[in-house]
Structure 1
């Protein structure tokens, strides 16, 4: 009984002691310290935002942040969400109609046929699908998309695929020829990019995977070497979206840096300000997709050396054009492994290398870096597992096709392609510069031409007018513009494009009301919508439609 009676008394004393501690000046000091630390954390973030992006961008980003919060709350209201869903449904229905109208008469195959088709039936069906082409890429009116090296090369690629249709580099003991062709393909591209004797690399499924692998490599390497658990990478605003994907996939903090408003190259001073003790890599483009501009890779190399971090150069688009500019007699810049500080480069063989889609090369300065790209697991019950990139099994036929393209084209073939493609881009660039209502973005040196319109002309209206004449250009945003990745089919249509462009612009000058086409409507709406998650919903809906049979 005595023990039972003493328990409430002990509890009271403990409660009083706890209250004394909570009210003590020591705890108040701790509270103040925590408050100051939190305040410093937010102040540091604000300071860095202003330091890197400038006050105007900081204010813009803050407004956008507040708008996102406000619209997120608004979307929780049933009436608002109902209205959004209705408008979203209307938009997606229009997209679906546009997509499905091209497939009328095909029928649907939603289950396996009870009895397999004959070879003739399969081929007839394939030709029907092939007949759905909507754009005149062969006539030289499509920007990028199809990097065609000529009918003779296409036949060689098809034959290579036929010979190695069942090959898989996962089993080099069964397919030694594929192993050899992959190694030689990597070696040839390393040589083209002036890699040192220690240079090495792997083949991937495309530019996105090459970039993903580079980012994953630096994340793992600096966690191992420096113990960095919260990695960051610093990239230009104009860097390829694959870096954003890598940041999302691999939990790397992404810091984007503004470009110089005149040169459109990344602002190197602001990039240096963005580097912290957690930075594992920086990146630059040669050339970037939006404007076809090469960043100052030499300056970025100096930063990489100074802070002992990785520097990746994205040459996926520049691929087999950039290495041949100098020999072709065109202006160029330093961008490859000859630049001190460059530790990795990505190059798409399936773009201006003219290989079939599904091949790219990721290169490293040495094998020590490349090892961090590998996935190695020696304790699996199925045996020792090791793969060089994301995929396990890979199509050996694509490797054979890539090797075949490199060997067939040769240095002379790629040099001629560079002369023709960049020559065509220069013709179109001169044409754009001759039109007072338009302006070329930056000073492009590779295959890409990007241009915008001077107010009051709307560049998207220009794009829609060109589309009505069969031209298929890429639309840019932030700021608005049109983009052309010049390909071999464009070579014979460059002058025709300039003629049509001048006529389209003049038509809009004479009659401004003749604009307001689909592109202008889509991008005009996207720019005016404060809540970008709505635009994301439209994009997600479009992806859903791609899988609707």
Structure 2
């Protein structure tokens, strides 16, 4: 009784407000016909819904959409649009000139259409040799990453295996049971290396990007099954761009959290970013940019606490990690020994030395893997099912990967890890002794990131380019890296790089404020442009040139 008595004044106030609203509405529409009232009501409802959708968009924050709309408007202004198009054309012309200069000495015309007459194998190989002559010489160890072994014996083995399985296709396992078995064995061997139990499973893919894409697809679909309409993944700012690509393709919201000064992801920031829509957490082992290993154990604890899958991106370090301890470089566990880790991507075409187009994606159990599978049994062409993005796949690449794993074995990979990581440690120690340059964090594996607090790191990279090095430029912050491979373990390569860095840094310290030139100027300018889509347009222009003759 007392409770009802207390509520009476509140109810009376609500009734008065509703009555006033009714009176105001009636007065506002007085004299209008029914059709007008309906149209105004409909228009007001549509407007209100539009405002709510704009303010509460689940995929992009209000600030992100306001920023996008603003820059879209600015770029549409005739003077700005004209200037952007002119800069894009200028960049395209420069890239095209560089490509044309690369094959200016070619003895053969550009093939814009099929030749009128058939060519003999000898004639085709002559043209191929002519094209190859224009490529950069990577065999002397002057190129960062790119080629991870390249030995003659391994090349011959891969060529022989490829020839035997050139026409195979895993899409038809009933025909090519040999390749089916090889793929299953590649996955099994890799699962064992990452300490998976009897439930661990996986698949092969065409590369790290597809492995990451499929993991993101699995966790997005798992989120859909849980009733999450707008899934989001949480990654470090140092995570590979393939996660942004997956987010773009799969309509997953991607949240980038900062890394600490040492380059490792800020786990506290990751924890703060988790919400009801979070479908996956990501850690890198190591990161592409500076070779830093994220605290996988701490990330996995977050995953267990909040019930979120954790993906370990070991695409780069995958076939170094399992052998680091035996090679004399022990690390904290980052594989399935860590509770909470649910998937791992590992490129076999990097430090497993398999041919390009080969990667492995592992899951803790088949329930996760099932989420990436596709099956359509209602097709008039029969039942259709595929484990990854493509339908047909090159069985020869799988066969060559399988052959490479057998060829090296544990013994071979331990030896390779000793040489590669040993070379990286030698470069790391040498760089630490050079005045004017600094390491980016504390790299433990094969990638050494280099920057400077005294002059532009891009100027140093350009100076090294003049000395014949092809290194990877990085941004945010300005830096570059050397990704050590088996090619760099040749005698004298590490010493030559250290000496060239020392000489170039000493010269730059004499004029530390000089402006960037070449690619350094492009990267420096790109970081100052507030709208990244402008740089995207230029990058897409580069792709247009790459795909034109």
In structure 2, the residue corresponding to 1:500 is in which secondary structure? helix
Q: Which residue of structure 1 lines up, in the alignment, with residue 12 of structure 2? A: none
State the Cα deviation string for residues 99-126 of structure 1 (Å, max 9, x = none): 1111123311111111110111111111
Q: Is the 8 A contact 1:315 1:346 kept in 2?
A: yes
**Secondary structure, counterpart of 1:82 in structure 2:** helix
SS of residue paired to 2:509: helix
1:152-167 pair list within 5 angstroms: 152-167=153-168
| Partner residue, 2:300 | 301
Q: In structure 2, the residue corresponding to 1:373 is in which secondary structure?
A: coil
The structure-2 alpha-carbon separation of the partners of 1:379 and 1:510, relative to structure 1 and needing over 3 Å to count, comes to same
Q: Which residue of 1 aligns with 2:24?
A: none
Secondary structure of 2:381's counterpart equals: coil
Is the Cα–Cα contact under 8 Å of residues 435 and 506 in structure 2 kept in the other structure?
no
CA contact (8 A) 2:516 2:524 kept: no
Instruction: Give the secondary-structure state (helix, strand or coil) at the position aligned to 2:126.
Output: helix
Q: C-alpha offsets along residues 127-151 of structure 1, whole Å, 9 cap, x if unaligned?
A: 11111112x3110111101111521
Matches within 5 A, 1:413-452: 413-452=412-451
Task: Give me the TM-score of the superposition, normalised by structure 2.
Answer: 0.88
Q: CA contact under 8 A between 1:186 and 1:203: conserved in structure 2?
A: yes
Q: Is the 8 A contact 1:235 1:284 kept in 2?
A: yes
2:121 counterpart residue number: 119
1:472-511 matches, within 5 Å, as: 472-492=470-490, 493-511=493-511
SS in 1 for 2:361: strand
Q: 1:54 corresponds to which residue? A: none
Partner of 1:207: 208
- 1:39-76 deviations in Å (ceiling 9; x for gaps): 99599x98xx9xxxxxxxxxxxx6x9877655433322
Residues 124-203 of structure 1: matches in 2 within 5 Å? 124-134=126-136, 136-203=137-204
Among candidates 461, 464, 468, match of residue 463 of structure 1: 461
**Contact 2:170–2:180 at 8 Å: present in 1 too?**
yes
Aligned length: 515
Q: Per the alignment, in what secondary structure is the counterpart of residue 288 of structure 1? A: coil
Q: Give 3-state SS (helix, strand or coil) of 2:312's partner.
A: strand
Q: Tell me which residue corresponds to 2:259.
A: 259
Residue-by-residue CA offset, 1:298-332 (whole Å, 9 max, x unaligned): 11111111111111000000111111111111141
Q: Greater shift after overlay, 100-109 or 166-175?
A: 100-109
Relative to structure 1, is the Cα distance of residues 73 and 436 closer, same or farther in structure 2, using a 3 angstrom cutoff? same
Q: Could you tell me how far apart the structure 2 residues matched to 1:475 and 1:203 are?
A: 30
1:239 touches 1:284 (CA, 8 Å); kept in 2?
yes
- Report the Cα distance in structure 2 between the residues aligned to 1:496 and 1:535, rounded to whole angstroms: 35
Unaligned stretches of 5+ residues in structure 2: 1-28
The 5 Å alignment of 1:331-370 reads 331-370=330-369
Task: Name the residue aligned to 1:329.
Answer: 328
Name the structure 2 match of 1:235.
Answer: 235
Say whether the 8 Å CA contact 1:463–1:519 is kept in structure 2: no
- SS state at 1:398 partner: helix
For residue 343 of structure 1, give the secondary structure of its aligned residue in structure 2: strand
Whole-angstrom CA distance in 2 between matches of 1:172 and 1:249:
29
SS state of the match for residue 328, structure 1?
Answer: coil
Q: 1:189 to 1:540 in 2, by over 3 A?
A: same
RMSD between superposed Cα atoms in Å: 2.8
Q: Select between 74-83 and 101-110 the one with higher mean Cα deviation.
A: 74-83
Q: Is the 8 A contact 2:456 2:512 kept in 1?
A: no
Q: SS where residue 265 of structure 1 aligns? A: coil
- Secondary structure of 2:325's counterpart equals helix
